[in-house]
Amino acid sequence: MNNARNNSLSILVITILFVGVAAAQHEMPAGMTHEQHLAKMKKEAEIKKRGDVAMGFDQDKAAHHFLIGGDGGSIQVENNNAEDTGSRDLIRRHLKTISKQFATGDFSAPFATHEEIIPGVNTMQRLKSEISYAYEDRPQGAIVRIKSTNPEAVQAVHEFLQYQVREHATGDPLTVQK
């Protein structure tokens, strides 16, 4: 009888732990239906999969940050493991490439990742000669600083970066940071 009681208690404890872990992993945002949450998770998985191809590195091994500044903003990507120099090098190659592509008005990589024209891109293409893209290595990746003195171009850069913050769920501020 003691064994049966111990087994029942063990099963109860394991069940409680499993339910708690499952609930923590798939916590549904407030105000969202189950169906909306599933659709959101599916969309995020698809973006990540397309991003792996378009960017050339594993999205799960890196952290993206899209920071909004008074004269534009920046795209910063760093690998999650400081010893993973392979991912760091792939991140650097990608950001070097997009800094050159964006300067010519080529936004094919973000389009390939998101499968839509991102807000701000049309204006950034039209005003490409008034926007600068400066690439810099970082210890675990790289950063591209995007700047302009043209208010319309700056607004377009902000729209582009705000979209990226929302789509990649980075948690970065959606307003100008100093």
What rounded mean pLDDT belongs to the chain?
83
pLDDT tens digits, one per residue of 19-35: 444 444 456 667 778 78
Q: What is the pLDDT of residue 38?
A: 73
Whether residue 178 is predicted with pLDDT greater than 70 in this model: the reply is yes
Provide mean pLDDT across the span 1-23: 49
Under 8 Å CB-to-CB from 98, ≥6 apart: which residues?
A: 75, 109, 144
Q: What is the pTM (predicted TM-score) of this model?
A: 0.74
SS3 83: coil
Whether residue 114 is predicted with pLDDT greater than 70 in this model: the reply is no
More confident residue, 51 or 42: 42
Provide mean pLDDT across the span 34-38: 74
Provide mean pLDDT across the span 5-25: 47
Joined together, the tokens standing for residue 72 give 């534009």
Measured at the CA of 164, the angle between CA 90 and CA 147, to 5 degrees, comes to: 80
Q: What is the pLDDT of residue 25?
A: 47
Q: What is the pLDDT of residue 24?
A: 41
- Structural domain spans, the chain: 39-168
- SS3 assignment for 18-73: HHHHHHHHCCCCCCCCHHHHHHHHHHHHHHHHHHHHHHCCCHHHEEEEEEEECCEE
Q: What is the pLDDT of residue 41?
A: 67
pLDDT tens digits, one per residue of 45-98: 665 655 555 566 687 889 999 999 999 999 999 999 999 999 999 999 999 999
